[in-house]
Amino acid sequence: MDEEPERAKRWEGGYERTWEVLKEDESGSLKATVEEILFQSKRRRVIESHEQVRLGMMRHLYVVIDCSRSMDDQDLKPNRLTSSLKLLEAFVGEYFDQNPISQVGIITTKNKRAEKLTDLSGNPKKHIDALKKAVDSVCAGEPSLYNSLNLAVQSLKHMPGHTSREILIILSSLTTCDPANIYELIKTLKSLKVRVSVIGLSAEVRVCTVLTRETGGLYHVILDESHFKELLMMHVKPPPFDLETPSTTPFLETQICLSLGGYFCPQCHAKYTELPVECKVCGLTLVSAPHLARSFHHLFPLQAFTENSVEEHQGDRFCQACQGELKDKTIFTCTSCQSVFCMECDLFIHDSLHCCPCCIHSQIGP
Amino acid sequence: MKLNIEGLLVYFPYDYIYPEQYSYMLELKRTLDAKGHGVLEMPSGTGKTISLLSLIVAYQRAFPLEVTKLIYCSRTVPEIEKVVEELRKLMEFYSKQTRESNNFLALALSSRRNLCIHPEILHANIVVYSYHYLLDPKIADLVSKELAKKSVVVFDEAHNIDNVCIDSMSVNITRRTLDHCQNNVDTLHNTIHKIKETDAAKLKEEYRRLVEGLKEANVARETDVYLSNPVLPDEILQEAVPGTIRTAEHFVGFLRRFLEYLKSRLRVQHVIQESAPQFLKDIYDKVCIDRKPLRFCAERLQSLLRTLEITDIADFSAATLISNFATLVSTYSQGFTIIIEPFEDRTPTIANPVLHFSCMDPSIAIKPVFQRFQSVIITSGTLSPLDIYPRILDFHPVTMASFTMTLARTCLCPLIVGRGNDQVALSSKFETREDFAVIRNYGNLLMEMSAIVPDGIVAFFTSYVYMENIVASWYEQGILENIQRNKLIFIETQDAAETSMALEKYQEACENGRGAILLSVARGKVSEGIDFVHHFGRAVIMFGVPYVYTQSRILKARLEYLRDQFQIRENDFLTFDAMRHAAQCVGRAIRGKTDYGLMIFADKRYARADKRGKLPRWIQEHITDGSLNLTVDEAVQLSKHFLRQMAQPFRQEDQLGLSLLTLEQLESEEMLQKIAQVAHQT
């Protein structure tokens, strides 16, 4: 299919026994069901993400990249490190697109140490440059989960309480070399409300399961590169955010004056060349109006489309968005304009467009 | 939920049930209906215990006259505790559902301290204890002999039951035993002397009783009050104790003579093997001890100990052992062999003579159990091939069934690795045991696996010696160093304290993400009693086929006996024994349906049909033709894929309807048909 250019070539994959998929689903088990389960979880995610109301729109996210020996493994092409960095570049772009008032920092870990590649900042270019440079680094030794988390926490704990604090770990290794008991650190993370998510590149590791469960994050293990991308993009959406005590600090100050080649802080008139940024002088968070507008849609998410089987559908068997034939077993109907979409378009509308094209069309049209 | 199993109302304390639990209960009910014995195999982690308990308790309530008591035998204390826990849950459920107070009494005997329980045991509806209370004649006599005939006996984890039977009937006598016994005899002599001065009437009373004969015991047996003791043969109950050992002094003298004779027999330079009749002839020729008084020895000693009112019976264990030996050797002309070894095989220079009086026929110990109780259920996760157990235990089951796990996802992945990457055949067989290439490839396999398997790996070797050799060789080749980059290494030793320490640290390393490998030995402590759930055992690697040490004389004698008496070929038995241990080892990794694990058989011999066919059905059905003779690389690829698949989210809803059923689902026509179909295959 054309929609999957990212997928590795057949001969590059592992030993696949495609014939077995067909053979085994007689008893209702095995791989076919695993695929089914995957499909279900894809759907569930779309539905779930619309049940949240409170979202941490101001996000502070540290991405930890494992650069240990196991990143040399060539099961992702050309190797795990290059592939991951490339996907992360796309991730950073997408992240700032969807969360314009958020910040990202990057940490790498190898040789039992953790180092900051970039500090928390809202400038995508800086991160992407750093990621590009990191491709040439050597993968060696073991990663240290403890050191990376600790390093991230040192910066995150100073972030204001009304923003969300997150860590996303790309972990390839199955072992970690820690200087102290990691379970103590997990307790600290929990008390600081830092949400840790992990994407595993090889298999499920117990300590990550506990870590993510305790801190309320997500834990996934990739199947192949396209699945990796999918999992990564899941973290683009703001996570549910638990505001136990409504923050007393003013949320945002948006009065920004644009002047030649820079922005002035409305409070102290310090000048900044780029936004968003936290004012170094008065500590105010500075964003521009378009930034705010673009984060706005998270607060008014598009209603989930209802799922029906294709048999029940009367009328044309064409997707209203892509005009393609409805081949899948299930179709999706917009609740307000009753237009019908295919699975792919449904995902696209909810993940990227954030509004139903047919609804917009009817609003504008005669 | 409340189930209807062929008309029987069963209270099941959970909201969901596995389809195989339902079939299991069905088979169990049929066994009870037929008042016969059964052999049932069901994988661990599928809720065997609760199925057994809930069905039998329901049966007891429905037919209180048919089944009066459940005797549940398990192997270890933790297992017994688990049973009690499940039982408690069931009882709570009962009282909640029926809203009436519980009149069920259950009793668990977990340690030998609690031996004094006679009055309660008679009234308890359920008794949970260790095998030994029923099988070991020394303990069974104290604990179990008053159990009612209409009881149901369950042996859980019974894959080793033949060995338990044999151990309970075998006697090993060393010089130390004889020295202890000598002390015992001296004590007896002194006590008799003392009593004679103070209370001679007591001894006279005993003498009178012995003349009367053991009528009491005989009456008891005829009226079917007691479980018969295999040490106490039928004939002696009808006779009086022979005159030569009737008085206390004479008996002590008799014991002295017997002891002296045994001592002389232990003074040997070469190995002697003889049958019981040969031994009896020799003892008659040398010290003029007849067969008859020997047979009464055990009973006579008990009587004497009672008369002398000796409270601390444990002190007399050596004397009891010797007298039991005397009775056994003179009672059974078949099924036993006597082997006297002047030294151990490993240390041929140190004199350490041992007299093995070894039982070769497990059916002797278990016979009274089968004869007495109307239903005996033998069950375990690994009982394959099923038909061998009735043969070696000499009974006729009415049901034999093996159940598999119904799975919503294939959570076990058995792989047979037969070749290294350089195409060298991998095998632990004797000829290639020292082969450098094989050892290197084994090391390579472990190293590759340590890089791709998360958390814990358990590796089993065939013996301690083999493990030591291999590990030493790996160290020299630098393989250990490479492995340690991925995971820590822990080793099981023969020292129990050391091993439990290693286990503890192993679990800690699995828990906090460092990852660990436990090197252990099939038939060792780790392979039998310890479960490696979830991350504690993501992969089990079985290096070689765990054949028992075939040079042992006891084993040779046993094999010969099996061939002559039961027509079981040596090779069949050895393979069966090896495969049940291999299955036990690899079965450690999967302890339930949400668990998953790799099972790697690293020996090309596993691919042969005669080996593979002896694995339990629930493992066998996942071995595809494609995973029969893999190289290390291929195994690594498959494992990687498997582990990634298994790491995908797996929820209870995914299982529902397939491998986990609600009551409605269970009662649907379609599901009942499916279950009937599965049962039909067995």
Contact B340, B271 (CB under 8 A): yes
Here the tokens at position B164 are 């338990």
pLDDT tens digits for range A2-21: 334 344 455 544 555 444 44
* Residue A243 scores a pLDDT above 60: no
- Average pLDDT in chain B: 85
pLDDT tens per residue across span A75-123:
888 899 999 999 999 999 989 888 888 889 999 999 999 999 999 888 8
Of B534, B626, B654, the CB nearest to A37: B654
| Exposed / middle / buried, residue A327 (Cβ in 10 Å: 0-12, 13-18, 19+) | exposed
Which residues 203-232 of A are in CB contact (within 8 Å) with B? 203-209, 220-223
In this predicted structure, the answer to whether residue B18 has a pLDDT above a threshold of 90 is no
Inter-chain CB pairs, A–B, below 8 Å: 108
pLDDT of residue B142: 61
Instruction: Please give the Cα distance from B357 to B367 (Å, whole number).
Output: 19
Q: What is residue A6's predicted lDDT score, i.e. its pLDDT?
A: 41
Q: Which residues of A touch B649 (CB under 8 A)?
A: 37, 41, 220
pLDDT of residue A23: 41
Interface of A with B in 10-39 (CB under 8 A): 14-15, 17, 20, 28-31, 33-34, 37-38
Range ranked top by mean pLDDT from A142-151, B156-165, B230-239, B307-316: A142-151
Residue A29 pLDDT > 90, yes or no? no
Average pLDDT for A321-330: 78
Reduced 3-state DSSP string for chain A: CCCCCCCCCHHHCCCCCHHHHHHHCCCCCCHHHHHHHHHHHHHHHHHHCCCCCCECCCEEEEEEEECCHHHHCCCCCCCHHHHHHHHHHHHHHHHHHHCCCCEEEEEEEECCEEEEEEEEECCHHHHHHHHHHHCCCCCCCCCCHHHHHHHHHHHHCCCCCCCEEEEEEEECCCCCCCCCCHHHHHHHHHHCCEEEEEEECCCCCHHHHHHHHHHCCCEEECCCHHHHHHHHHHCCCCCECCCCCCCCCCCCECCCEEECCEEECCCCCCEECCCCEECCCCCCEECCHHHHHHHHCCCCCCCCCEEEEHHHCCCCCECCCCCCECCCCEEEECCCCCCEECHHHHHHHHHHHCCCHHHHHHHHCC
pLDDT over threshold 90, residue B16? no
- How distant is the Cα of A30 from the closest Cα of chain B, in angstroms? 5
The better pLDDT of the pair B200, B483 is held by B483
What is the tens place of the pLDDT at every residue in A139-182?
999 999 999 999 999 999 888 777 788 999 999 999 999 999 99
Query: Which 3 state secondary structure label does DSSP give B7?
Result: coil
How far is residue B245 from each of residues B215, B256, B384, measured CA to CA in Å?
18, 12, 49
Where is average pLDDT lowest: A333-347, B229-243, B340-354, B507-521?
Answer: B229-243
Whether residues A175 and B410 touch (CB distance < 8 A) is answered with: no
The tens digit of pLDDT for each residue in B203-219 reads 788 777 777 665 555 55
Three-class SS state of B166: helix
- Minimal Cβ distance to A15: which of B534, B624, B637: B637
Of the ranges B40-54, B235-249, B400-414, which one carries the lowest mean pLDDT score? B235-249
Q: DSSP secondary-structure letter at B563?
A: I
Domains of chain A: 52-236 (3.40.50.410), 258-299 (no CATH)
Q: pLDDT value at position B102?
A: 65
What is the per-residue pLDDT for A251?
44
**Model pTM score:** 0.83
Residue B505 — pLDDT band, cuts 50, 70, 90?
very high
Name the token pair of B410: 């294939």
Lowest mean pLDDT among A23-32, A233-242, B295-304: A23-32
**Which of the residues B406, B506, B507, B644 would you substitute to probe the A interface, choosing the one with the greatest number of A C-beta atoms within 10 Å?**
B644
Establish if A366 touches chain B: CB-CB under 8 angstroms: no
What is the ipTM, given to two decimal places? 0.82
Nearest residue, CB atoms, B647 vs list A30, A70, A200: A200
Q: Considering only residues A363 and A334, tell me which one the structure prediction assigns the higher pLDDT.
A: A334
**Chain A residue with minimal CA distance to B651?**
A37
Contacts of A203 in chain B (CB under 8 A): 452-454, 538, 640, 643-644, 646-647
Residue A14 to residue B641, Cβ atoms within 8 A? yes
Chain B residues within an 8 Å CB radius of A205: 454-455, 513, 535
Is A223–B649 a contact, with Cβ atoms under 8 angstroms apart? Answer: no
What pLDDT, on the 0 to 100 scale, is given for residue B218?
56
Nearest CA to CA, how far is B513 from chain A (Å)?
5
Share of chain B above pLDDT 90, in %: 30
Q: What pLDDT is attached to residue A151?
A: 95
**A12/B409: higher pLDDT:** B409
- State the average pLDDT over residues B21-43: 90
Closest alpha carbon within chain B to A40: B654
Distance from CA of B647 to the nearest CA of A (A): 5
Report the mean per-residue pLDDT for chain A. Answer: 78
- What 3-state class would DSSP assign to B413? strand
Q: How far is A228 from chain B (nearest CA, A)?
A: 12
pLDDT of A245 above 50: no
Walk me through the domains of chain B, giving residue ranges and CATH numbers.
2-158+374-405+661-681 (3.40.50.300), 168-360 (no CATH), 412-649 (3.40.50.300)
Q: What span, in angstroms and rounded, lies between the C-alpha atoms of A309 and A288? A: 44
**Is A41 in the B-facing interface, judged by CB distances under 8 Å?**
yes
The dihedral through the CA atoms of B302, B308, B313, B315 has a sign that is: negative
- What pLDDT shows up at residue B111? 57
Choose between B276 and B682: higher pLDDT. Answer: B276
pLDDT score at A253: 45
Chain B residue whose CA is closest to A29? B408
For residue A29, give the nearest of B407, B513, B650 by CB distance.
Answer: B407
Residue that wins the pLDDT comparison between B381 and A287 = B381
- Please name the member of A34, A175, A221 whose beta carbon is closest to the beta carbon of B515: A175
- Bigger pLDDT: B423 or A34? B423
Q: Which of A303-312, B100-109, B464-473, B639-648 has the lowest mean pLDDT?
A: B100-109
Contacts of B535 in chain A (CB under 8 A): 205-206, 209
Mean pLDDT of A305-325: 79
